[in-house]
Structure 1
């Protein structure tokens, strides 16, 4: 992209900005060498020039700095940008070496990646005699004369992507601007959830005015122009925060059945023996509650997010209502840039009840329905075991009366004449060479920021307590599938992360709920009704879906097979077995197996082989006999031992037959419960990330999204009046006192009796995958069980506290009007209640600079086997009474 077009079209307000008072750009970067032996010889003079050693900073209010080179861990995934810009009103607490790397990126306004020579540039601008649409712009072999240079450039590309992904995950943003510097040559980059825009390069010696004007604009631009999402802000009401903490505490205790007092023991125990058992657990459960609460609440970091809900007034007119919900720590965090960028939170309603907020970037364009509308349709058709929609809608730019939703920027330039579409291939000598005869089909699809609030919040299926709950929870999901099928809907995206276990008030066991209906569609949908050939999580998709046939139409039988693989995967990982488990290392291959042919990824051969002769499941011997019987019967029902015909299913593979098989298994006695075990499988992590794949038919490129794991945020303290205050904007140091009271350093000991500070902890959750592999294969980071050197070492070999119990809380009904359509539904009382601290407050144009990363749920052994209860139909008309 030409630099002038980037500045004029992307940098909002640039054309109207006055540059009076800007220091002269002449010789602004004269001390920056064209190339150097070491990178510090580039960024040291650059930082000095930008910060203004002569007292005239070129970006007032933003201080550029070089952070420590790397954390204690080695590898590409642990590096940080060479140069980052921080607002003057933010003071980054000094942390230990192990926490310095990614923590600071949660507060960065902008970053600069520096390479010592133009030869290491990731990109290559097209020569004057070459057309843009025939030119290879990224990792062009013509500009990389050796494999070593290609390796360096590939690593640099991965580093830039990793930095952008980390900042976008930690900050609530619409987009992020960064710079790439190779010697004295500079480029601007804009990152959002649809991709990245990259400008042509310019030399700081020949055209210093380009960078000088950009920095001046960046300094004087609004937070909105810098890409922040101003619909999320800190909650400044201490009463709200206390209400939030109390609500999360109560909900965690209900869901995990924790006993933290004598009163709890008397309430939970059915007899004297059980009361005594509960009494003996009080101290341990207090510690478990503290750990569990950290997953959803961080002191001083309760934030308010606006949900823009379309509702009909008394006159039948559709109006947008802005509803304010409170959240703190996400249970899921995005790990990539060009993705939905989904965050998930437990949220508190006005009456103190707890629900779930999904913050995501949905696909724009025709044919992409809002997920909330699909779920609302299911609610209106009384589909069991599907959460109720409280409110939902596209996020507006800034204000209630703003009709324009937040959308991505990059996709708008799909058809620009400067887009480079050249390709490359490997020759017989395994060298990458240009292939200008073949042009890439670039399909950067636009996304719209979207929020959805559901009425329940629970734990993922993978945290089931025993085989009984595993089968019962998945049977509940089958009930949801049957009801949805009767309502002419199928899910098309089952996975262990799309099934949650939730204890309804007043019931003894947790119910399995089927969530995440973004791929949901009509049963009679035509083949190819989406832009992808494959939807869902690769490990659990049926062999027919994975076969690679673009004309195949996803049917309910595929969802049934996916549910079979979900139970198989969970049982193999966490249920007790009679035989050794060393063979599981290769057995898991058949779920995730895939190959690439002609640029198209496909799989399913391992699953077909297992249908043929049970090669990968015949040695599974579970100690729970009902589970073993269910598995054998379900595999035979799906396909009796023998060849499987692709594209079809045996006539007996029906919802009714599968439901009866499930009920027969649940009717059997489940002895020796609980039977959950954390298997130590050679080469297979207990929390192996799931590969969520969308294969594009047009580009034939597979995009991976891995199940997010724990990341916690660092601590920063605003310095009141420490930086320049823009005209018309409130003082960004307003929260100093609040943060001083609610924040703690990662090196401080955890306070007893209160929730521990949710801080960034590198040693606690180490990345085990690199951010970059050869061939630009960016992978996300994964958590491990180690903890910070200054803290007590904890183990992760016990299962979650998931006992079923009877709650004293009465069932509530959700008041909804079935006469109003999905987009015109009136809001339930929990968002209409007054006097509860949940009313819409004034929108402040100050960004929330940081965002917590997700953590893993607490883990404990269950000790009581509770008899199974039949799933009850949950009404879609539920009222949240004000408590």
Structure 2
């Protein structure tokens, strides 16, 4: 989230913008009677664990006349610092210190203190020895120029402060994965100061810090206002509801194949009508039972995919729910054009559009006079649509022929889109090339696609894609323009990756090094940019890792095709990175040194168009001597630390090392992973965002 923390917003502005309540509610706030020192009784010691229960007790203290919390009526605070959500995946057993729930939520009994499905607000506590403050406000009363404010380090890089930001971001990530939200509120409580934070998919608005022990009224007013907000004002996506008994029965009947491993509620989504089949012009309701994938950050596209039961069409279809960049064309518009131009092997759009009034707000405050620090924020709109295709993950292929047929079919789709519609996909990955269940493949997920100009170049610079499968040059050169050949290389990388992991070959013992050095290679350069590609460059240019002796077991033709594809990538990289040696260098006397090698003719290269690669694939898959059912179980799995995650189909994850920031509370040793927190917060160690389309 580097550059996505926007602050420090004046508290009065924060209240006005995000907690709007009638004057009657403001005037009835208990802050006047409880006083500005109400929270001063919270222990101010060496252990943050000592702060939790006293703070919870002060907020939960009931009004004698109503029987409800006099500060947060209708809600309850719970100390959940020692309990993870029993329904979280093992890699997501993380939790904040204190959580707000509606008062009817049952949190009694062992293991019930953390319930992400019911979370209303999160609180994170810190004592000074661990984190003075995750942010650094400019001094009040100073008149600073915009240049001075931009240079101010609002996001300090001290490790404790970075980790604190990362912790809050990671907890919000899991919270928003378990609910459907437009925004979410977090409260930071330090030994002396507090802040209010509002997250959405563009970033987080951070209030100016205030001394809550001396100005308790501000914290009381915040909680009082929050208690009087509507569900949508508290952040809920009101186009999603829990299914009733009849709808749950339909889910059990039609969606059992995709039943989630962890307990998840069955939900009903409203899908806005724009393009429809049947063309009735009405919004559609569909039933969903657990997402096929979740976000790794509170910001970004946050794409969730679902097989859903369409109650209008009476069949299972595919739903995509995403927060699209305002700088990119709608995926629904692209799919509609692909369908109209009869592009092969792409899903058919049924219905979908942007959801009314669900737009990020963080981006609206970039130009505010109080905003400090450098920012990188993208405006996002909530988009939801249905397709007629529910595919299988590419790694589920049963034979090498099925894998290569899927690659061939997806490449045909890519060619049609490029040549018929002048559209470049720009995110060829294992999530986007899918199996169709009939031995073929489909190219899905066109949300990062761009129009190309007559010279076959996208209209904008900007690195996009999935880190594992991004081209060598895109990884090495963050400012490089994304062109056709980058996608062609990604197709080759898909074959290499899946062949290494799921087909028998002669370098299985070397897989840990190959995956780490070729696909996970990552560092941050002096400019704070994520770069990689060193291992891929070695693979393609020097035949390291997959040497001339490499071979798939009982599949000579696939081995030969892979050698051809690797040489094709090498040929292209050589051509575009060609730099002639100077002929006037007085120290170069050898004719062989002074005569530069002739630059290759681009039109003679395999990667000049789709056709040579497609032709080679046609020859490959048309042969009859394919081994049957030769796919094997994954031959190497990367270690996953508790509290961290690694996904081969989303953005690159940095390996985790668990840490405990507070030696006084061993119960939180597993609540976070140090590098995971860093990844969510600062450039000190971070992963490439899901999409870097900021430079237009």
RMSD: 3.6
Cα distance in 2 for partners of 1:530, 1:35 equals 56
Q: Does 1:412 align with 2:364?
A: yes
**In the alignment, structure 1 residue 772 sits paired with structure 2 residue 677:** yes
Pairwise CA distance, 1:190: 0.4
Question: Counterpart in 2 of 1:535?
Answer: 464
Q: 2:430 aligns with which of 477, 491, 496?
A: 496
Is 1:561 the counterpart of 2:489? The answer is yes
SS in 2 for 1:217: helix
Alignment of 1:313-392 (within 5 A): 321-349=282-310, 350-364=312-326, 367-392=327-352
Which residue pairs with 1:436 in the alignment?
none
After superposition, residues 415-430 of structure 1 pair within 5 angstroms as: 415-421=367-373
Query: Secondary structure in 1 aligned to 2:274?
Result: strand
Who is 1:59 aligned against? Answer: 72
Deviations 1:19-64 (A, max 9, x none): 3373623256255347312223323222111111564521111101
The equivalences for 1:750-765 within 5 A come to none
Equivalent position of 2:30 in the other structure:
22
Match of 2:451 in 1: 522
Matched, 1:90 2:105: yes
Aligned 8 A contact 2:251 2:287 in 1: yes
Give the Cα separation in 2 of the matches to 1:78 and 1:614: 41
d(CA) in 1 for partners of 2:349, 2:229: 38
Residue 627 of structure 1 corresponds to 558
* C-alpha distance in 2 between matches for 1:683 and 1:15: 56
* Superposition map of 1:839-858 within 5 A: none
| Corresponding residue of 2:252 | 245
1:306 to 270, 273, 289: 270
Matches within 5 A, 1:436-455: 440=374, 442-455=375-388
Matched residue of 2:577: which SS? coil
Q: CA deviation at 1:558?
A: 2.3
The match for 2:619 is 664
C-alpha separation in 2, matches of 1:25 and 1:171:
34
Distance 2:453 2:426 in 1: 13
Stretch moving more, 624-633 or 29-38: 29-38
> Aligned pair in 2 of structure 1 residues 221, 682: CA closer, same or farther (>3 Å)?
closer
Cα offset for 1:345? Answer: 0.6
The question of whether the paired residues in 2 share the 8 Å contact of 1:69 and 1:79 is answered with no
Superposed, 1:601-620 pairs within 5 Å as 601-618=530-547, 619-620=549-550
Change (3 A) 1:688 1:311: closer
Q: Is the contact made by 1:195 and 1:444 (CA closer than 8 Å) also made in structure 2?
A: yes
- Structure with the larger helix share: 2
Mark the runs of 5 or more structure 1 residues left unpaired by the alignment: 142-149, 253-291, 397-404, 422-439, 504-508, 694-703, 708-764, 781-883
Instruction: Give 1:328 deviation, angstroms.
Output: 1.5
Is the contact between residue 530 and residue 687 of structure 2 (CA under 8 Å) also seen in structure 1? no
Q: How many residues align?
A: 617
Q: Give the match's secondary structure for 1:662.
A: helix
| Whole-angstrom distance in 2 between the partners of 1:94 and 1:13 | 35
> How far does the alpha carbon of each residue in 1:464-484 deviate from its partner, in whole angstroms, 9 at most, with x for none?
112111111111111212222
TM-score (structure 2 length as normaliser)? 0.80
* SS of structure 1 residue aligned to 2:171: helix
**Equivalent of residue 586 in structure 1, options 498, 503, 513:** 513
1: CA distance between counterparts of 2:283 and 2:535?
A: 49
Following superposition, the deviation at residue 766 of structure 1 comes to: 11
Q: Does 1:116 align with 2:127?
A: yes
Q: Separation in 2 of the partners of 1:28 and 1:528? A: 62
Structure 1 match to 2:598: none
Residue by residue over 1:523-553, the C-alpha shift from the partner in whole angstroms, topping out at 9 and shown as x without a partner, is 3278996776211112322233334273x54
**Aligned partners of 2:541, 2:305: CA distance in 1, in Å?**
40
The 5-angstrom pairing of residues 203-218 of structure 1 reads 203-218=211-226
Q: Does 1:80 align with 2:95?
A: yes
Distance 1:415 1:110 in 2: 28
SS at match of 2:426: coil
Instruction: Provide the rounded CA distance (Å) in 2 between the counterparts of 1:233 and 1:158.
Output: 30
For the structure 1 residues 638 and 38, does the alpha-carbon distance in structure 2 shift closer, same or farther, using more than 3 Å as the test? closer
Tell me the equivalent position of 2:630: 675
Q: Which residue of 2 aligns with 1:482?
A: 415
How far apart in 1 are the matches of 2:221 and 2:348? 50
**In 1, distance between residues paired with 2:259 and 2:315?**
15
1:689 and 1:52 mapped to 2: Cα distance? 44
- The 3-state SS of whatever aligns with 1:332 is coil
Q: Secondary structure at the match of 1:534?
A: coil
**TM-score w.r.t. structure 1 length?**
0.64
Structure 2, unpaired ranges of 5+: 1-8, 579-601, 656-669, 689-696
Cα deviations by residue, 1:791-846 (Å, 9 ceiling, x for unpaired) = xxxxxxxxxxxxxxxxxxxxxxxxxxxxxxxxxxxxxxxxxxxxxxxxxxxxxxxx
In structure 1, distance between residues paired with 2:544 and 2:201: 41
Deviates more, 1:769-778 or 1:347-356: 769-778
Could you say what secondary structure the match of 1:91 adopts? Answer: coil
Is 1:544 aligned to residue 458 of structure 2? no
The alpha carbon displacement at 1:229 in A equals 0.7
Counterpart secondary structure, 2:118: coil
The residue that corresponds to 2:402 in the other structure is 469
1:689 maps to 647
Change (3 A) 1:107 1:525: farther
Deviation at 1:679, TM superposition (A): 4.4
Quote the Cα distance in structure 2 between the aligned partners of 1:313 and 1:641.
43
The one of 119, 127, 134 equivalent to 2:139 is: 127
> SS state of the match for residue 47, structure 1?
helix
1:40-96 residue CA offsets vs partner (Å, 9 max, x unmatched):
3323222111111564521111101102425599x9974422211110122246455
SS in 2 for 1:395: strand
Cα separation, partners in 2 of 1:49 and 1:528, compared to 1, 3 Å: farther
Post-superposition CA distance 1:672-701 (Å, at most 9, x none): 42222234438578x9523756xxxxxxxx
Deviation at 1:413, TM superposition (A): 0.4
Q: Secondary structure at the match of 2:125?
A: strand
Aligned ranges for residues 168-247 of structure 1 at < 5 Å?
168-236=176-244, 238-247=245-254
Q: Compute the displacement of 1:325 (Å).
A: 1.5
Q: Aligned partners of 1:490, 1:231: CA distance in 2, in Å?
A: 32
